Amino acid sequence: MKVLAKIFCFFLFFILGITKFSVSVGICRENEQQALESLKKEVYDPSDSLSFWIVGKDCCEWKGVVCHNLTRHVIELHIYGFFGYLRINNLEWLPSLLNLENLEIDYVDLSKATNWLQVINKLPSLVDLSLYNCSLHHIPPLLNHNFSSLETLDLSRNNFSSSIPKWVFNLPSLVSLDLSDSNLIGPFPKGPVNFTSLMTFMAGFNSFNCLLPGWLFDLNNLEYLGLISSGIEGAMPSGAGNVTKLKNLDLTFNNIEGELSELFNDRNNFLPAGLRNSSSLTELYLGNNKLTGTLPKSLGQLTMLEIIDISNNRLEGVVTESHFTNCTQLRQFFASNNDLTLKVSRNWIPPFQAIDIDIANWNIGPLFPMWLQTQKNINSVDISNGGIQGEVPTWFWNLSSQIQLLDISHNQFIGEVPTISTPSWSPRQAYWLMYLDSNNFSGLLPQISPNVTVIDLSNNFFSGGLSHFLCETNKSRSYKLEVLNLEGNDLSGVIPDCWMNWPELKVIILRDNNLIGGIPRSMEVLNNLISLDFRKNRLTGPLSSSLENCTKLQKIDIAENELDGQLPPWLGTRLSYLIILSLSSNKFYGELPLEICHLKDLQILDLANNSFFGIIPRCISNLTEMVSVNKLGETDIIYSSHYFEARFRESAMVTTKGNIYQYDKILALVTSMDMSNNNLSGDIPISFTSLVGLKFCNFSKNHLTGKIPNGIGDMKVLESLDLSENQLSGQIPQSFSSLSTLSFLNLSYNNLSGKIPVGTQLQSFNSSSFQGNELCGLPLLANCSSSGRIPDVDIEKDESDEDELDWFYISMAIGFGISFWGVCSCLLFKRSWRHVYYRFLDSCWESLCVKLQIWGWI
């Protein structure tokens, strides 16, 4: 019996095993196979993202499809469109996958699947749902949701333009919620929520524009809270509960107010006593808010804290060693741009080994912070504008070889700078950024390592030539330098002809030195060059054709030199990306080439103080960037690097309103045209008035004639206009009165006459803006009727208008003559018509007499 029992058990086990095996090797369920095949047929997939889905083949073997080992139901579906465009117009096939637990559709256009939520709500077993970057435009409300098992929900990178619906806050099993960057608006619900299991909540890069809800800190299991740049405003909530499990808090780039110390005491309880003594918090981001007060010493009790960012707030006071007493795990400390003072002993040894330290704009000096010598793992240091004086210690220059981002600018350092070296074993993607500008360094320029990507030595007292720096290089290494700034030193001699050693250069700034000679030929190899600034030197010769190959150039500023010659046509045909072209205060001459009108991206054109002659090109209206009025997007012009995330902000010098201004943060909004102090003649072309996006214009001190175009009133954003010292005639156009943004005007010393148009802006200018003309009316003292005559104040017409009026009267006279003689000739030569006409007149006269008798008039 025992043997039979064993045999029976063996066969039973064998049969069950065979059954299990047969199920596990079965094919995809038929209805689910059909659902996925219908998707495959209907999807718009021009890049063949789903090419590996082969109709007729077992869908359980398709990439992105996961089936249950036993039941062969589809339990996971992953569709990615980031390798190419992919659009799914409807999700009606989805409810066939009733056992689906994980649905991930990322980088897929679902904008036409408007019922996406109602369809997904039919999946009762769903645990993980991700619709990341799917062009969704609305989150519909749900009276009853079917997401009781849902643990992760990712709807980030969409464009909902609405508030978060209530059903989202009633998901008791939810562990992770990501609503980041989806154009959501506030406010958050004020009442209780059902997030008992929530550990991660991310909703940054939205526009809630509301207070931070208190219930967020009643979530006992919350570990990560990310609301970066989400429009959070006002003070922190009071009476928050226990959040001792919180590990990462990110509230940067908001409008949070109040004292930072209040966040760490029992009165506010935002970071309650449990958290202050807790070992859980590792990352705290509160930068770029409006926090005030001092840095609380209780911060030093966060023993597990690795990263803290309190930069760009309004903090003040003194920071001492006690603030870091137990911060043994601190690796990154960002606290720049606060009014804080660091007071530690000369022999202080911090309890941490930091990687990144940013305390820019603190009061650190006057002595050099010797405690930096203890930081063996340091990777970036920013102690700029710290009031530090004297020489930089030798040990720090040695330490700097491992510091990839070093900013010691805007201090009072003196002495020479040694060779800036980096490890020879650095990987290809490694970069070094060195900012030593705005100090008192002197001597020869230091040589740099091939891995240095940005070097800023501007506004110091370096002297000598450039050859030592540019030409004495390591020929066996490829140099990565992209940004070279040597502005404002005492450098002299010629610009050496060895630029072939620096093929990655994007930005070259040599302005405000004593350099002589011409622009070297070897600059033609700088194919990546974007910005070239040689302003205020003593350079001579023509505009070198070597720049013709630098076709990516967006800025050329060679003003205030002694360059000469005519402008080459390639300036407009080859350098089509130019945004800034500043050639003022040189010795250029000749007519302006028509090719300059090809510069459609040009925003700043400065040709002042040269010897150009001829007319202003009629094609000037082709400068389309000056035609655009509504400039959206970034306000500054930024150049990025191949090797790092740091960016270079462009700047430009603009002469306007009688002064010189430097624009950088709002440079993208500036449009300027300056052709003053040349020998230009002819009239101001009518096409000039089509530049309705132009803000600053100066045509003064030329030989321009003719009238000011009437269309100038269309230039609604014009802020400054200088047409003085020309030979312009006629009246000031009445349309001037509509220039409401005009804050500077100079029409003096021309041949203008008549009454100054009445307008809010024009009468507010000083009388000197109109002197040297035959004008009358405010703000001048000359009364338009003082001579006994009233001048013609009609709106002056262009010649084309006058011609059109003359032809109107001529054609009217011709028409009358033809009509009159046409009728008379018919009556004269056609007898029957003449008799009918006379009988008609007799009849009319008899009828009129009868009526007059009835009325008693005759």
Choose the weakest-confidence range: 24-28, 224-228, 283-287.
Answer: 24-28
Residue 778 CB contacts under 8 Å (≥ 6 apart), including other chains: 756, 758, 763
**Of the segments 27-31, 207-211, 330-334, which one has the largest average pLDDT value?**
330-334
Contact (CB, 8 A) for 130 and 152: yes
Of 73, 72, 88, the residue nearest 26 (C-alpha):
72
Task: Give pLDDT, residue 850.
Answer: 45
DSSP letter, residue 666? T
Cα–Cα distance measured from residue 779 to residue 764, given in angstroms and rounded to the nearest whole number = 7
Q: How confident is the model at residue 816 (pLDDT cuts 50, 70, 90)?
A: low
Cα–Cα distance measured from residue 180 to residue 199, given in angstroms and rounded to the nearest whole number = 16
Amino acid at 351: P
Contact (CB, 8 A) for 744 and 719: yes
Per-residue model confidence as pLDDT tens digits over 727-783: 999 999 999 888 889 999 999 999 999 999 987 678 889 999 999 999 999 899 888
Amino acid at 38: S
Could you list the beta-strand ranges (E) of 107-172. 128-130, 152-154
Task: Kindly report the backbone phi and psi dihedral angles of residue 114, in degrees, each rounded to the nearest multiple of 5, phi listed first.
Answer: -65, -20
Per-residue model confidence as pLDDT tens digits over 606-630: 999 999 999 999 999 999 999 876 5
Backbone Cα Rg of the chain: 39
The answer, yes or no, to whether residue 512 has pLDDT greater than 70, is yes
Of 431, 439, 479, the residue nearest 646 (C-alpha):
431
**Ramachandran region, residue 753 (left: φ > 0; alpha: ψ -120 to 50; beta: rest):** beta
Of 404, 438, 442, 401, the residue nearest 419 (C-alpha):
401
Which comes out higher in pLDDT, residue 115 or 400?
115
Please state, rounded to an integer, the average pLDDT across all residues of the chain: 86
Paired residues of 217 in beta bridges: none
- Planar angle of CA 760, 765, 767, nearest 5 degrees: 130
Rounded mean pLDDT of 101-116? 95
Rounded mean pLDDT of 816-840? 55
Per cent of the chain over pLDDT 70 is: 83
Residue with tokens 């495959």: 40
Choose the weakest-confidence range: 165-169, 591-595, 609-613, 794-798.
Answer: 794-798
Of 199, 200, 93, 115, the residue nearest 156 (C-alpha):
200
Task: Give pLDDT, residue 215.
Answer: 87
Task: Give pLDDT, residue 810.
Answer: 54
Amino acid at 166: K
Rounded mean pLDDT of 262-290? 68
Per-residue model confidence as pLDDT tens digits over 333-368: 999 999 999 999 999 999 999 999 999 999 999 999
3-state DSSP: the chain helix, strand, coil percent, rounded to 5?
25, 25, 55
Contact (CB, 8 A) for 541 and 563: yes
